Structure 1
Amino acid sequence: MTTGSHHHAGTTSEQRSPVSRHAVVFDLDGVVVDSFAVMGEAFSLAYAEVVGPGEAPFEEYRRHQGRYFPDIMRIMGLPPEMEEPFVRESYRLARHVQVYDGVADVLRTLNERGLRLAVATGKAGERARSLLDVLGLLPYFAHVIGSDEVPRPKPAPDIVHRALELLGVPAERAVMIGDAPTDLASAQGADVTAAAALWGCHDVTGLLAAGPDIVLRRPADLLVLCPAVPGR
């Protein structure tokens, strides 16, 4: 996946444009944190508790990443009652979630350069803020917005619009980074530059087919796109 990485990162004309970016909106799972092992465990426990014996269809669940949990349950035809044990177990296991290598350094550097950062996640807002707090990352973000805090979750643009509103940054000055087509659709709907993060993506082909403006192969690639904000 990482072969020939760097010549690729600079291939789009978008990246050579002189636009000064003032904000970065991050998806959480698969971009900032590698939570899939913990998510799988929480999902299996919730499935066993609510549905009963048998293998929990976690791979199918992963295909809907970026969406709000209740929406995924509806799409998969699973009982909405799975949400309570899933959330409970996710809180219990939060300290086992991994931060991707290089992410904390990138967040620190972006802060130092004067960029405003937000998280726009498929998770509920309270759970996302709690997880980032446990992992020591919450101070890097000016705002953390969950799917339960906007009228329509991803792939609708509402969550990105809300992030821009809170950050006080126009769409053309922002970039949104995601690892799923729902993230890119949300960014594109809000007229924000859509960047595909490949380091946590389990379906690279599907992500690239969603038409990102920029492809990032490792977190540090983001620093090339986001020089210091003038006057900050």
Structure 2
Amino acid sequence: MRRYDLILFDLDGTLIETAPEICDAVNDTLTQFDLPTVSQQQVNDWIGHGTRELLIQALAFTGNTTTDTVRKSDAFKLIEAEFGKHYQARCGTRSHLYPHVREVLAELRERGVRLAVVTNKEGRYTQTVIDAHALGPFFDRVISGDTLPVKKPNPAAIHACMAQWSVPAERALFVGDSSIDVATARNAGVAVWALPYGYNMGEPIEACNPDRVIADFSALLTTLAQPAVS
């Protein structure tokens, strides 16, 4: 008997390395508005709360102001709209799946495990990225940062998936790469495994105390052969 009936995944930094093209889109936008560009490392450290928040962080940094000031500025909606055009154009250009992702998802689905994506990325970008890498057929449900009224670390998305398929907490697993993902799983009362290669705002993932840190995606297949923990 398999250990988990439902496995939920973060997207950026867990399934797909997306930071390079996000950085490209941010810098495309900053350049358009005659603002200084930002570094790849800065963008990596801002990933986690959704693309909109990342753009706000970049604008606050380059404008030497606060994120609250950016949110309230008259210009932000225009800048955000232009960023959306740049990011849609960049999606799939410099991102790639992490090792073993496609074959592991295929095997998990073949064995009857329900699979879902839970990300704070806005839905229009989530779908573009998933489509760019042909991942859509693997997932039973995709919940983006604007699908529900709340987003991670609120556990609503995990609870919604568990309710949809009548999966109890002990039969669900969340897989992510950040403290936000660990907190989301803890808030939902489900197990959480973390990958060390993603974006955790510059902090080692071990500091977040997930149930397990796995080197890469291939370790997920071992869950199907392990007995449930009492």
What interval of TM-score do these two structures reach, taking the shorter chain for normalisation?
0.7 to 0.9
Cα separation, partners in 2 of 1:74 and 1:88, compared to 1, 3 Å: closer
Tell me if the contact between 1:180 and 1:207 (Cα under 8 Å) persists in the aligned partners: yes
Q: Distance in 2 between matches of 1:70 and 1:133?
A: 20
Corresponding residue number in structure 2 for 1:53: 35
- Confirm whether residue 25 of structure 1 aligns to residue 8 of structure 2: yes
Offset at residue 208 of structure 1 (A)? 1.3
Report SS of the residue matched to 1:41: helix
Report SS of the residue matched to 1:37: helix
Cα separation, partners in 2 of 1:206 and 1:28, compared to 1, 3 Å: same
Offset at residue 89 of structure 1 (A)? 1.8
Cα separation, partners in 2 of 1:74 and 1:167, compared to 1, 3 Å: farther
Equivalent residue runs for 1:127-206 within 5 Å: 127-201=125-199, 205-206=203-204
Q: Distance in 2 between matches of 1:130 and 1:179?
A: 21
Q: Distance in 1 between matches of 2:25 and 2:200?
A: 19
Offset at residue 83 of structure 1 (A)? 2.8
Corresponding residue number in structure 2 for 1:94: 91
Q: Distance in 2 between matches of 1:109 and 1:25?
A: 15
Offset at residue 139 of structure 1 (A)? 0.1
Counterpart AA for 2:47: Q
**Percent identical across equivalent pairs?**
27
How many equivalent residue pairs? 211
- Confirm whether residue 64 of structure 1 aligns to residue 62 of structure 2: no
Cα separation, partners in 2 of 1:127 and 1:19, compared to 1, 3 Å: same
Tell me if the contact between 1:151 and 1:158 (Cα under 8 Å) persists in the aligned partners: no
Corresponding residue number in structure 1 for 2:63: none
Q: Distance in 2 between matches of 1:64 and 1:194?
A: 22
TM-score (ref. length: structure 2): 0.81
Cα separation, partners in 2 of 1:68 and 1:111, compared to 1, 3 Å: same
Which sections of structure 1, spanning at least 5 residues, go unmatched? 1-17
* Deviations 1:96-126, CA, capped at 9 Å, x for gaps: 2211121000000101111000000111123
- Confirm whether residue 126 of structure 1 aligns to residue 108 of structure 2: no
Q: Distance in 2 between matches of 1:84 and 1:167?
A: 36
TM-score (ref. length: structure 1): 0.80
Counterpart AA for 1:95: G
Q: Distance in 2 between matches of 1:194 and 1:72?
A: 25
Offset at residue 204 of structure 1 (A)? 7.4
Offset at residue 57 of structure 1 (A)? 5.7
Computed over aligned residues only, the root mean square deviation of the Cα atoms, in angstroms, reads 2.5
* Deviations 1:168-211, CA, capped at 9 Å, x for gaps: 32222111111111111111111111111123346674321111
Structure 1 window deviating more from structure 2 (75-84 vs 206-215): it is 75-84
Corresponding residue number in structure 1 for 2:107: 109
Counterpart AA for 1:25: L
Q: Distance in 2 between matches of 1:107 and 1:129?
A: 17
Counterpart AA for 1:86: F
Offset at residue 19 of structure 1 (A)? 7.6
Q: Distance in 2 between matches of 1:111 and 1:102?
A: 14
- Confirm whether residue 83 of structure 1 aligns to residue 65 of structure 2: no
Cα separation, partners in 2 of 1:170 and 1:204, compared to 1, 3 Å: farther
Tell me if the contact between 2:51 and 2:121 (Cα under 8 Å) persists in the aligned partners: yes
Q: Distance in 2 between matches of 1:41 and 1:180?
A: 22
Cα separation, partners in 2 of 1:71 and 1:166, compared to 1, 3 Å: farther
Report SS of the residue matched to 2:217: coil
